[in-house]
Amino acid sequence: MKVKSILVSQPKPQAENSPYYEIEKANKIKIDFRPFIQVVGVDAKDVRHQKIDFSKATAVIFTSRNAIDHFFRLAEEMRFTVPDSMKYFCESEAIAFYLQKYIVYRKRKVYIGEKIFADMLPLLKKHKDEKFLLPASDVLKADVPKLLDGLKLDWQRATLFRTVSSDLSDLSDVKYDILVFFTPSGIKSLFENFPDFVQGETRIAVFGQSTVKQAKEMGLRVDIEVPTPKIPSMTMALDKYVKEANKSK
């Protein structure tokens, strides 16, 4: 089956040189973007209900840009002045760079992991006497608490934002040849919006093992799965699949 249209369940890329646009142009197909999930911040009352006290933390662990945004948003709402002595542990360089939106980087103690959460463990272990706060969403990778507990750290999780399904009702009559998902929440959103969804000839592309698992639990056939040793990115996988599907027989 040839591919003429793809729906990617993420916001439209801002970069003009995005690989998605190159795939669209090179293969003469249509690629649309639509977030299937959205992030909603909790309020100060909810934070207090969780018995979270920002003033007791001496270090903050950031695993996403959303965590940074909502930590500083709530600090302002709760009239908490983040002390200059606060230490920041960031999962990646990109997250650490984003932190500059809120702090004078060169005047703060910032520790950066290489890419994934486990990369930060040696850094956290060196500072095991700190009182850590982990700003997170209501959906947290299961291995994160286990890794932190394994180091016997004094840490507390603070749910500062939640992931909810977007309203996709306007897509009810729109059909795509490929649907692209990056999170289990995106798969859940599909069925929350369209409980009677039947896959049929629609191809499903997914990124990550947890997303694959969710897709299969919901009865979907996974046609494109990444990453793999040879194909690490979704755009590479889509380009390869479309070229093979659309080549002249």
For the sheet with 30-33, list strands across it.
Answer: 30-33, 5-8, 178-181, 203-207, 224-226
Both 85 and 198 in one domain: the answer is: no
pLDDT at 32: 97
Whether 107 shows a pLDDT value over 80: the answer reads no
pLDDT at 142: 82
pLDDT at 189: 96
Confidence band of 141 (pLDDT split at 50, 70, 90): confident
The enclosing domain of 217 has a CATH number of 3.40.50.10090
Number of domains comprising the chain? 2
Mean pLDDT to the nearest integer, 73-102: 94
Query: Which residue range(s) make up the domain with 57?
Result: 40-163
Both 182 and 112 in one domain: the answer is: no
* Integer Cα distance of 136 and 157 in angstroms: 7
Print the SS3 string covering the chain.
Answer: CCCCEEEECCCCCCCCCCHHHHHHHHHCCEEEECCCEEEEECCHHHHHHCCCCHHHCCEEEECCHHHHHHHHHHHHHCCCCCCCCCEEEECCHHHHHHHHHCCCHHHCEEEECCCCHHHHHHHHHHCCCCEEEEEEECCCCCHHHHHHHHCCCEEEEEEEEEEEECCCHHHCCCCCCEEEECCHHHHHHHHHHCCCCCCCCCEEEEECHHHHHHHHHCCCCCCEEECCCCCCCHHHHHHHHHHHHHCCC
Both 93 and 143 in one domain: the answer is: yes
Mean pLDDT to the nearest integer, 126-131: 96
Both 25 and 85 in one domain: the answer is: no
pTM exceeds 0.85 for this model: no
How is 160-172 classified by DSSP, letter by letter?
EEEEEE---GGGT
pLDDT at 249: 55
Q: What is the mean pLDDT of the chain?
A: 94
**Final residue belonging to a domain, choices 138, 163, 188:** 163
Both 62 and 131 in one domain: the answer is: yes
**Final residue belonging to a domain, choices 122, 147, 163:** 163
